[in-house]
Structure 1
Amino acid sequence: MTRTRPAEQLTCDPTTQSSAAACVCAWQGCMAAGEYRAPRDRSLNEYVYFCLDHIRLYNAEWNFHAGMPDAAIESEIRSAATWDRPTWKLGQLGGGGRWAGTGIDDALNLARGTAFDPATRRDQRTRTWTTEQRRALKTLGITGEITVEAVKTRYKVLVKKYHPDANGGSLEAERQMKAVNSAFATLKAVLTGLETAQK
């Protein structure tokens, strides 16, 4: 960008001048009005003003990253991708959920036994159900806490409701009874396995 005038001749700022036409194009030898602002260097703190033709030439030659090492350019690109905000790798803040890192000290143990207590969160066993197991829960109509006792109680109610002897040999009741038996067998196997593992 050596075609601009010396810095001491470029004191024009149309925002402080009474008229934008008072600024002269910074291009060497051009006397047109300098109406278009462009950065002087990478610091983006000082600007020069050009006419329309010369601002196009200046912008075509402008390279913000000229003279920067590759590592600095890569760092600049990564920083610009997040709007120059700080970032960190996932899992680097210690995890712990929504309240982790808040600086809250529970000296009175008010959160003990709740979802906010790290010990409780650590001890809770999260259960994921397979598609077959979810279908079995739906067949038995079980919601809420799922225990062996709850499954057995619900199974007994449904057996009485759909037993063929209680429904006069209805084929629909027999089909429902088979579905209930299959669902009970699926859930009983899973839940008794969990109880054994917890003991």
Structure 2
Amino acid sequence: MRRKDKLLEVDAKSPPPRLCDHPDCSRTGLHRAPKARDRLNEFFWFCLDHVREYNRAWNYYSGMKEPEIEAEIRNDTVWRRPSWPMGGGIKNPRTQFMHAVFNDAFGIFKDAGPEAEAKPDCETFDVAVRRSFSIMGIKPPITLTELKSRYKDLVKQLHPDVNGGDPAAEDRLKEINQAYAALKKIVPS
């Protein structure tokens, strides 16, 4: 007997059930829906039918212009946290330790400094540029003068007058011309 009395006491203390916030509904409002985009922590409470109706009509981006929507989506992709580009690598390893006292006992960073120049590595280039380096038979880093010199040597070897009109040599020369044009765009002068 006592146990039933305690259960009835708890029920008597609990708040009355929340009603649906839809104007013409008297059912229990068990499902919440945000009131507005700028008040996402304030909710309407609806019955199942009315929350479905509300959600169907809800548009988080209504009233926003295209650039605002784009900015909102970008912020959401990183959970509204600051972010930086990845994969760029460290251009100058010393910049990591600029404000710290750092003892380079093994001389790891001896060549890195403000005057040290980042040397391009073939792995940092896209496939087409790497293929162009391969066709020309050279490896980065290279200057424009070295590129021109290599190009002239290859053209002399594969010129149609030297090879008697060999079609394979002509095709190879076309490849070299394309590779030279591609590399000339990226090699510093």
Shorter-chain TM range is: 0.3 to 0.5
TM-score (norm 1): 0.43
Q: TM-score, normalised by structure 2?
A: 0.45
